[in-house]
Amino acid sequence: MILDNLMPVMDGLQTLEALQARNIRLPIIMLTADIQEWLKIRCLELGATICLNKPTKEAELQEALEKILTPQSTEIPCI
């Protein structure tokens, strides 16, 4: 899932909280224009796999997708 932090109705953090509450676990790339470190940490705590700053470069997104889609990946850092 590619998730933006700023969305109508429910923001990215609320979406992560809802997924966690339902025990739904899936690879999530969180996109945010917010550069505050606490937000990235909170996203990871709530189950995001990778956090990318917007605007995201195509190469960064491609790298994140490859890490998520590569079965051998055991640990995916926040970029």
pLDDT of 16 reads 96
Report the 10 Å Cβ neighbour count for 27.
17
| Total residues belonging to the chain | 79
pLDDT of 70 reads 86
What single letter denotes the amino acid at residue 9?
V
Tell me: the pLDDT tens digits for 15-74? 999 999 999 999 999 999 988 899 999 999 999 999 999 999 999 999 999 999 887 645
Domain ranges of the chain: 2-69
Q: What is the pTM of this model?
A: 0.81
- CB-based burial label for 39 (10 Å; 0-12, 13-18, 19+): middle
Q: What is the CATH number of domain 2-69?
A: 3.40.50.2300
